[in-house]
Homo-oligomer: A and B are copies of this chain.
Amino acid sequence: MAQAIHMMVRVLNEARSVAFYEKAFGLTIADRVDFDGFTLIYMSNPEAPFEIELTVNKGQGEAYDLGNGYGHVAFAVDDLKVEHTRLVNAGLTPGDIKEMAHNGQPFGTFFFIQDPDGYKIEVLQKGGRFV
């Protein structure tokens, strides 16, 4: 059966993106593979085997068009407020914490943050269906 192992996004600046994902989510470089026209960087942390793959196309100067179809990748954390504060103190700019209800019951508590290329990332409080 098929096992979900990574998602890939194209980024303009390797150092900038690697620094963001490390600072924001504790991801470190599992592998960096350099080809003639592009570089692949696989990042993960001990919480999950699922990797974020960054593709850096050499010579790409123009910002990527993110479209309106892809939404986000999501991370769950133990304490959302602590995490939000930590990100702000680290100089990042997460959005406000929001709560979402379904049929009058709490469904999810989360905020969004954008990576350096503008990709949206959801950060969810662990609990309910988000464990």
Q: Does A15 belong to the interface (CB within 8 Å)? A: no
User: For chain A, which range describes its interface: under 10, 10 to 19, 20 to 34, or 35 or more residues?
Assistant: 35 or more
Distance (whole angstroms) from the CB of A24 to the closest CB of chain B: 8
**Quick one: copies of this chain in the complex?**
2
Residues of B within 8 Å of A67, CB to CB, are 64-70
A3, A5, A119, A130: which has the most chain B beta carbons within 10 Å?
A: A3
The answer to whether residues A4 and B75 also contact, given A67-B70, A69-B66 and a CB cut-off of 8 A, is yes
Query: Are A76 and B5 in contact, CB atoms less than 8 angstroms apart?
Result: yes
Distance (whole angstroms) from the CB of A69 to the closest CB of chain B: 3
Residues of B within 8 Å of A16, CB to CB, are none
A35, A45, A70, A126: which has the most chain B beta carbons within 10 Å?
A: A70
A3 to chain B: closest residue by CB: B47
| A residues whose Cβ falls under 8 Å from a Cβ of B | 1-10, 24-26, 30-31, 33, 35, 42, 44-50, 52-53, 55, 64-77, 83, 102, 107, 117-119, 122-124, 126, 129-130
